[in-house]
Structure 1
Amino acid sequence: MENKDNEAPITCTYDDFEPMCKWRREEGCDLLEVHGLQDFEREQLKVRINLGTTLVITGERPLKNNIRSRFRKEIKISKHCEIDEIRVKFGTAGILHVSLPKKTSKKISNSGDVNASLPSNYLIGLESSTCCRLKLAAQGMAVVVFAMAIAAFVYKPRRCVQVES
């Protein structure tokens, strides 16, 4: 695609920042508060778990004159955390609240390796359910295509060649 009158392409400049994090430990749960996000909208924030071991919180929003404000926080998840029970809430004061419940002794002994069943980039909860359904549908299609490729590889028509004596 060509630019009008040989204009230079528009480039963005990023203003990276480090939001303040505050931890609170309670009996059955660790609570993380990420402060300094009052100018962000809920849709501009993402919270994911990578490989069942790292909580990744990112945010990006436009400022002005092609400048974007962004941040990225990576936090190691305790092996005693109940990953399926992590909850995220974005408050009106611009504080992101992350609840990391601890496994009970019964869950630790019976669960085995909980992290082994989690895919990389497991979504926790700030994106819309439509987005999640589309991601699941795409993953399902990828599985179907992969299965068809394997079936096509395994089932090849064989040529019969007669051996002349």
Structure 2
Amino acid sequence: MELLPFDEYVRSLDRKRMSAGVLFRDAEGRVLLVEPSYKAQWEIPGGSVDAGESPWAAASREVREELGIERVFTRLLVIDYVPDDGRMPEGIAFVFDGGLITNAEVAALELTDPEIVSAGLFFLDAVPSLKATLAARLAIALRAAQAGEPLLSENGTELT
């Protein structure tokens, strides 16, 4: 077997898209979701990881932009491998722990990002419009928060 020159090998390495989201939840087990202006499905606060940016920095940046909350998120809950779906290339989704949030704190959020129409606390089975794989990923994230350790999943299916 012939080895590629190092520079050629590096150029041949696969590139994956990454996203970073934050799970905020209340004492009743509801999760904070945001309603984007650019698509029909609700999401957790978060978004794409920019080039040269770490997933945890992206999570902090997105939460600051979307919700006005200034915080560093270091507790990882879920790493989810997301396969190519024909529309978006394969990627890795990181979910970080945002901790507990109250109704009063949600009501006080100043949503200044034009990408976000509204925000609210929801039980996962009562969300107006939530992609099935995200709902599954969030259920795993809730279990990880209770267990106190990160979990792995593949397209919303927990690896055991």
Shared topology, TM-score over 0.5? no
Larger relative contact order (Cα-Cα within 8 Å, sequence gap ≥ 6): 2
> What TM-score does the superposition give when structure 1 sets the normalisation length?
0.27
